[in-house]
Amino acid sequence: MRSTARWTGVGLITVGLLIGGCAPKTQNIDMHNDKEAEAVMGLDYRDFQTAAQEMIQSMITSGAVSKPGGGKYVLAVSNVVNDTMQHIDTDQLVKKMRVGLLKSGKVVVTTAVSAEGAEDKMAMKTRQELRGNEEFKQSTVAKKGQMIAPDLSLSGKIIQRNISIDRSTQQVEYYFQMTLTDINTGLATWEDEQVIGKRGSNKSVAW
């Protein structure tokens, strides 16, 4: 009886060691040189980086963010729709674009206006709740009529298409579509589309 229990224990330890030994080692990714990593069928950080890079280049090159006579445009971020099968936070793309545009020196982004209300709720809340509140020195409270209305609006969509190549291969296409609209005229002053395509095993899941 004791012998059986001992062998069971030895067996469990051996299996545990084998499983542990086979598991891939966790390691930090070198985000600046990640070429050796296999591509994945879904969207990963490299895809968002590439898309954002191309979009910023395209937008600056077009001259759409260069204000005639100098100065900076005020940009509001509108809806960027995720029309893929993946759970994507579209800020993975939009934030990179915002940072790039802010650094260009030609655009500032408003957080007071967006398609879903104020992005920075606190900025609006402090105005509404502190104004007239005797607990606060009123000279330090944001004055009325100080906020700057946006000149431009950025909107877009990320689309996914799955195509079956043969029994074992599938192709997944991702379309990044962005539009910059002049709010005053309602005209789109810049538009672009970047396509990222992946081909791989049918067993890979792209969501």
Part of the chain binding another protein (CB under 8 A), chosen from 94-102, 126-134, 137-145, 184-192: 94-102
The H-assigned helical ranges of 33-90 are 45-62
- C-alpha 124/C-alpha 101 separation (Å) is 24
- For 171, the token pair is 């192709």
71 makes contact with another protein (CB under 8 A): no
63 makes contact with another protein (CB under 8 A): yes
Three-class DSSP category at 142: coil
Query: Which conformational region is residue 21 in: left (phi greater than 0), alpha (psi within -120 to 50 degrees), or beta?
Result: alpha
22 vs 31, beta carbon nearer another protein: 31
99 makes contact with another protein (CB under 8 A): yes
H or E segment to which residue 22 belongs:
helix 2-22
189 makes contact with another protein (CB under 8 A): no
200 makes contact with another protein (CB under 8 A): no
Binders of another protein among 40-59, rule CB under 8 A?
49, 52-53, 56-57
74 makes contact with another protein (CB under 8 A): no
